[in-house]
Chain A
């Protein structure tokens, strides 16, 4: 399966990265990691990219890593639809101090706009 992981540096997107790499390895997925500019994240592109390469090399998995510049949600949807991806994977939200799940703005946009199947990692 051709999988596009969108990652912007939030904690839930980092969790999604680890799980997706593991899953891609087990299932033999063709994984592409799209690094987006999440305005809510404190990590810079270079930091996220380094983290991605670290996780990939630890898992000994080959995956393309790309910087998707511009509006994060629409870039992920565009790339997934234009390039024939089977699935988009995103972080499934942060939890508040109370324990409430809050879905991020990027996931919200992608869920409502994507014609490609979306997976949210919890």
Chain B
């Protein structure tokens, strides 16, 4: 991860701002909402009732996540580790959006700050895959990022994961480094 990371010259988007509501290809109504990270941090005890419920819903999704869909060690495998990991990526300086099917989590995408840029990751729960949720989720996350003045975003993806690479390319990511095991891609969100 050393050295200068390369970003496209052109700004991607514009992208929709959360909340975004849509019907997926299975006819389910999905709502993508920003996850309010301040809710949690201010109280220090899991936050308000609503944010505590939302946190538990996220834990439940990751606890049941298909281990064969793990990428570079995340999501982690045990519930205690999932909670630690979520505590990190739901931190106050991170930007999170969650796709909801009622009270249950269908997917989750996040931007984590890294010096002058943000690292992106996205997870779609297995019962909700191949229903168009990933596209809506990542676009809404990028819209949320634009709204918050995020300039540059990068990610790594296993090179054999064609569906993921295709999704990233569709929203404007370009390959910035193809010399490692994992492909590195980047995108410019604002000027």
Contact = CB atoms under 8 A, between A and B. Distances in A.
A106 to B, nearest CB: 12
A103 B179 CA distance: 12
Given A105-B180, A108-B180, A108-B181, A98 B1 contact: no
A101 B77 CA distance: 14
Contacts of B88: 99
B90 interface: no
Given A94-B1, A96-B1, A97-B113, A102 B74 contact: no
Q: Is the interface of A mostly helix, strand, loop or mixed?
A: loop
Contact of B89 (A39, A99, A105): A99
B82 to A, nearest CB: 11
Interface of B: 1-3, 71-74, 76, 85, 88-89, 110, 112-114, 119-121, 156, 179-182
A95 B112 CA distance: 13
Interface string A82-122: 00000000000011111111110100100000000000000
B74 A99 contact: yes
Q: How large is the interface on A (under 10, 10 to 19, 20 to 34, 35 or more residues)?
A: 10 to 19
A47 interface: no
A97 B119 contact: yes
Contacts of B181: 103, 108
Interface string A51-71: 000000000000000000000
Contacts of B112: 97-98
A40 interface: yes
A97 B114 contact: yes
Contacts, number: 48
Given A97-B112, A98-B89, A108-B180, 12 more contacts: A94-B1, A96-B1, A97-B113, A97-B119, A99-B85, A99-B88, A100-B71, A100-B72, A101-B72, A102-B1, A102-B182, A105-B179
A107 to B, nearest CB: 9
25 contacts: A40-B2, A40-B3, A96-B72, A96-B114, A96-B119, A96-B156, A97-B112, A97-B114, A97-B119, A98-B110, A98-B119, A98-B121, A99-B76, A99-B85, A99-B88, A100-B72, A100-B74, A100-B182, A101-B72, A102-B1, A102-B156, A103-B180, A103-B181, A105-B180, A108-B181
Contacts of A39: 2
Contacts of B179: 105
Nearest to A111: B181
Nearest to B120: A98
